[in-house]
Structure 1
Amino acid sequence: MNPVPDLRDPAVLEILEHGRMDVTGRMVDASNATLFGTVQADGVELRCVYKPVRGERPLWDFPDGTLAGREVASYLVSEASGLRVVPPTVLRDEAPFGPGMVQAWVSSGDESALTDPETDDFDGDLDETTIHLAAESLVELCAPDEIPDGWLSVLRARDGGGDPVVLAHADDPTLRAMALFDVVVNNADRKGGHVIVCRGTDTDGTTAERTGVYGVDHGLTLHTEPKLRTVLWGWIGDEIGEEHTAQLKELRDRLNGELADVLGEHVTRREVAALRSRIDHLLAEPRFPGPDGFGPAIPWPAF
């Protein structure tokens, strides 16, 4: 096999959309069918996540379109804005279990959980073969006196034993960009476990330095009504800053062109209009917002 290209290489999207796909397992913690596999083309093999539309559970509050389509639309917004916090994602028609979202796998560098010791293949039963995954996160529940230096507190609570705990996250620039992205796409499900620290692997197989931070699981996005639920509330009231303001302006300009039509293939016109409205509001008041008071501010479970 040839070396795996960088995730920013345009060839990655081509491989995800047209390469030969093999499903090797299922992620057991996902509420909808979430499969793990590989996709190959031109001697390059990529690991991927595949979410077939047929495996989606209907949601009364997201009745339009598909969750797979919302994942792809969120990726397009991430790229068009320059925030680039979502792994390469495509909507693929030809796949083992029908049309669905296919996304490049991003790894924390610990690959020990990616194989199932009980089986070597996937026989087509969505409940048969499973993969247990644990992702490194920049979001943690900590004792009040054990919050890492430089981290931002989000919520104080008590655990099941009655002991005080604090939900906190790193004051990290990429995580900050992800928090802004969540506001833009109205993400209703930013759990701590949806924040993946991507690390490379050295030639000796050990984990190398961090290569990026990505957000995954964006099926609950782009609704017309305010639904922002996130664990990334640490920057409430902070100025967005010149760089992010420029990115929002660029995104808003692109929504006046063909980007709106492309997004319209995955979400409704009203949802595209609501996206424009959220960006306009952020440009008029360029600060990180707080919870709006309607509904829970943090998803459950938080991880």
Structure 2
Amino acid sequence: MKHQEDVLDRGEVRVLGQLAESSNAAFLVEVLADDDSCWAIFKPEAGEQPLHDFEPGLWRRERAAYLLSQWLGWSVVPPTVVRSVEPFGIGSLQRYIDNDGSHYFPLMETRPDLHPQFLRLAVFDLLVNNTDRKSGHVVLGEGPSGPEHVWGIDHGLCFHQDPKLRTVIWDFAHEAVGAELVDRVEPLVDAVPGGVAALLTEPEVAALRARASRIVRLPWLPEPRSHYQFPWPLV
């Protein structure tokens, strides 16, 4: 992961094209370093649609989600850095995960062997208060666990201080969060890693600690309480 992050940090960025169906401006780019290259997704702050509940600068949350994923040792978010790319300005640059187009709904139905990874991602979403976990934001590709590693993408709408969990991953409602996952979350009750905290507001950091406490005290996954807890579109 560190090598991949280094490539994103120091490589030359060449814009290949804009993603047509993205609600905010997002670009497929190629990142070229001396000894490596990769595709990545660049999301500039300048291309964000105004939101009433999130301040501009969603790149901070994209980066914070990656840093927290790494700190937990879960690697559920692809390597993500903050870069300024001309002529767009500052934004998040996330390594593109090569995949066959499969997403959460068909994978959940046909791949029970992936369920432990899906449950871990559900715990991560609960922890970061993910407001936009669509089925298409879950992809399968090369990763730390092998060629079929479950990745979560698109974390710009996370870490709000108010409860806003909105996801399609409700299949594990009422299931226990295993001790191994709880043990990784527990230190967050007392302190949030500095790199993550620096990207969030003080109320957001306090809310993250409170959500960690909830997972430790009540180690099970919740159920949706209304249709508002499902994103739209679902995919």
Aligned residue for 1:172, secondary structure, equals helix
- Aligned counterpart, 2:231: 299
Aligned pair 1:241/2:178, yes or no? yes
Deviations 1:154-178 (A, max 9, x none): xxxxxxxxxxxxxxxx861111111
Aligned pair 1:221/2:158, yes or no? yes
Bigger proportion of residues as helix = 2
Tell me how far 1:276 sits from its aligned partner. 0.3
Aligned pair 1:68/2:46, yes or no? no
Counterpart CA distance in 2 for 1:93 and 1:265 is 18
Structure 1 alignment gaps of length 5 or more? 1-7, 111-134, 151-169, 201-208
Q: Aligned runs of 1:154-169 on 2, under 5 Å?
A: none
- Aligned counterpart, 2:124: 181
Counterpart CA distance in 2 for 1:253 and 1:76 is 17
Counterpart CA distance in 2 for 1:215 and 1:243 is 20
- Aligned counterpart, 2:168: 231
Within the candidate set 71, 81, 88, 1:80 is matched to: 71
Aligned pair 1:106/2:38, yes or no? no
Within the candidate set 256, 262, 267, 2:195 is matched to: 262
Instruction: Give the letter aligned to residue 195 of structure 2.
Output: V
Counterpart CA distance in 2 for 1:292 and 1:226 is 12
Counterpart CA distance in 2 for 1:14 and 1:179 is 28
Aligned residue for 1:12, secondary structure, equals helix
Length-normalised TM-score, structure 2: 0.91
Aligned residue for 1:90, secondary structure, equals strand
Within the candidate set 79, 102, 123, 1:136 is matched to: 102
Counterpart CA distance in 2 for 1:262 and 1:95 is 25
Q: Aligned runs of 1:51-62 on 2, under 5 Å?
A: 51-62=43-54
Tell me how far 1:148 sits from its aligned partner. 4.1
Within the candidate set 208, 228, 231, 1:275 is matched to: 208
Counterpart CA distance in 2 for 1:18 and 1:253 is 34
Structure 2 alignment gaps of length 5 or more? none
Backbone CA RMSD of aligned residues: 2.2
Instruction: Give the letter aligned to residue 245 of structure 1.
Output: V
Deviations 1:48-72 (A, max 9, x none): 1100111111100113x51111111
- Aligned counterpart, 1:16: 8
Counterpart CA distance in 2 for 1:228 and 1:171 is 22
Tell me how far 1:251 sits from its aligned partner. 4.1
Contact kept in structure 2, 1:16 and 1:102, CA below 8 Å: yes
Counterpart CA distance in 1 for 2:148 and 2:87 is 31
Aligned-residue sequence identity (percent) comes to 37
